[in-house]
Structure 1
Amino acid sequence: MENRNYTSDFILLGLFKHTGYHLFLFVLMLTIVLISLLVNALMSFLIHQDCWLHTPMYFPLSQLSLMDMMLICTIVPKMAADYLTGNKFISPAGCGFQIFLLLTLGSGECFLLAAMSYDHYVAVCHPLRYSVLMSWQVCLRMILGSWFLGAADGFMQAAATLNYPFCKSHEIDHFFCEAPMLVHLACADTSVFEYAMYFCCVLMILVPFSLILTSYSLILAAVLHMRSTESCKKAFATCSSLLAVVGLFYGAAIFIYMRPKSYGSANYDKFVSAFYTIFTPALNPLIFSLRNNDVMEALRRCMHEFVVFNHN
C-alpha cells in the first residue's frame, strides 16, 4: 500500500477558483506573464545584438533575463493547464523536475545578483582596474558558478524530498511543487532534512545577500566621498536598480524558505510564491531598462534600424 501511494500522483489544488473574480485574476496573471516573457526576451535580444552592450556588465543581465523566462515557463504553463482543464495531477517525476528547476533558477539568481553587485562595486570603487578585476574570464566564471551552485542545490533538495514516503493526503495546497510544501505531506521524520534545507538556504540566500550588502555599503561610502554630483547620480541610479530587484527577490525567498514552519498559512505562501515566480520576473527588466541609459539607447538604435530596414 505504501509503495502504491509513494508512486501515485500528487494533486495541485491551484491558486485560483472557478469564480468570475478569480477568472479575472487568472487572465490578468496571464497578461503579466506574456508581458514579462516579451520584455525579458527583448532585454536578452538587445544585449545580444547591440555591440555597445557586449561587456561583462551586461552579460549577467542577459542571464538574469534568461533565468526569469525559464522560471516563468517552469511554473505557469502547468498551472494554467490545470486551471483550464481541471486535471490537477502531477507525477512524482514531474514534481521533482519542478523542484529541481525552481531551486536551480532561484538559487542561481541569488548568486547572479551577488555577482552583479560585485560588478557595480568594482565599477564605482575601482574604475581604473575594472578591466582586470571584472574581465570576461571572471564574468564567465561567476555566471557558470551561479548556474552550477543553483543546479547542485536543486538536485539535492529534489532528490531528498522525493525520497520520503507520502502515505498521507497527496493534495498539495499550492499551484506548483515546492519543497517546503511537499515535505509537510511526508509520513516520516523530516526534521533532519528540514535542518539541512535550512542550512542550504543560509548558504544560497544569506551568504549572497551578505555579499550584496557588503558591496553596497562600500559603494555608498565611496559615493559619499565623490565630489562630482553627476558621478554620484550615476552611481546611485545604477545601484538603486539592483537594490530594488534584490529587495523584491530576497524578501520573498526568505519568507518562503527561512521563516519558522508554524508561521503563515497556505494562502500567504501561495501569494508570496506567485510574487517571486511570476511578478518579480516581470519587474526585473523594467527596473533595469527604465533606469539604464545604455539599454534605452540600445532600444532606440534597434528601433531606428528596424524602421530603416522596412523603408528599404
Structure 2
Amino acid sequence: MPNLMNEFTLKNMTIKNRVMMSPMCQFSAIEKDGMPTDWHLHHYTSRAIGGVGIVMVEMTNIEERGRVTDYCLGIWSDEHRDAFKPIVEQAHTYGAKIGIQIAHAGRKAENEPQLVAPSAIAFDDTYKTPKELTIIEIKELVQKFKEAAIRATEAGFDLIELHGAHGYLIHQFLSPYTNKRSDEYGKDRTLFGVEVIKAIKSVIPYDMPLLLRISGMEYVNGGYDIDEAVRFSKIFKEAGVDAFDVSSGGEGPIDPAGKPGTHGGYQVPLARRIKKELQVPVIAVGRLENAVLANAVIGNHEADIVAIGRGLLANPYWTLQAASQLKLDNVVPPQYITAF
C-alpha cells in the first residue's frame, strides 16, 4: 500500500515523495518585467528545505500580454531564463525536483490593454472584451509556448506543467462556453492544446515529464463535465502528456446550480476518474492539507501525487510535519532533526 512519503517514478525521474507544491501566483515579480525576485528564491527554496518532492513554480507566462497582472512571472526572454537558474539550483541543493507551470492568461489578463482569446467574449462585466485571435496569431502563440519550454529546459527545470485549467488560454480553447469559433479551432476544441503539447515535446528532452493541469469539470451553465474531460484528456495523452494535474472550474462566473463543494478532497473524484480511464499518473489537488486525508488519497490509489497549496503557504515545513504525524520515514535536514 503506497503512502505519502514513498518515492514515485515519473518517466525516468524519481521523486523522493508524493508531495507537490501546487503552483500559486505570488504577484511578486518585478513590475512589468516579469522577473523573479529574492522573494521567489526564498519562497521556493524554503519548501524544498521543508521536504517537498516537487516544487512547482507558479504560473509563468509566455508573453507580456499573457500575464494575469503586471506582477506575474514571465519566461519570454533569455533574461528570464537566467533569473530562474538560482531558484532551480537551490531546489536541487535540498533534494527537490522543480517544475515550472507555463501559461497564457488570455481573456483573464487583468492589466493588459488588449486582451486576446479564442472568441470575443469577456469573462464578466468587470473585464474588457478580448480580441478574437486570428489563425496566424494562434500559430505564433504555439511558437511562444515552444520557446518558453526551451528556456525552461535551459534553466534546469526537471519538468514542465502546462496550465490548461482555471479559464486560462488553453482552457478557453477547450471550453464550449468560451470557444465559439467556426474554424478548425472551434470544430476541434482540443486542436490548440494538441499543437502546444506537440511543439513542446519536440524540444524538451525525451525523459523530461510534461504535465497538464486541467479543469476536470466546469461550473458554468453550458460548461463541460467530467465525461468530456476524460474524452479530451485521452487526446492530450496521445499527443504527449505524461501526467495530469486535475483541478476544476475557473472558466466563468459560477452558476448557482453548479457551485462546487468546499470540503476536504472535493476534487479528488475527478482525479480518480482520470486515473482510472486513462491509466496515467495523476495529481490530486484541492483542500488536501490534512495529512491523514492526503495520505489516504495515495493509499487508496485515487492519485499518485497530491498537490498542496494553502497548506504549504501557511507552513513551509508541512511535508516534514505530515511525515512526523503519520509516523512515516522522511529525509529531515540534519539541522532540524532535533525538532522531529
TM-score (norm 2): 0.25
Q: Which has the larger radius of gyration?
A: 1
Q: Which has the higher contact order (CA 8 A, sep 6+)?
A: 1
**Structure showing the higher strand proportion among its residues:** 2
**Structure showing the higher helix proportion among its residues:** 1
TM-score (norm 1): 0.26
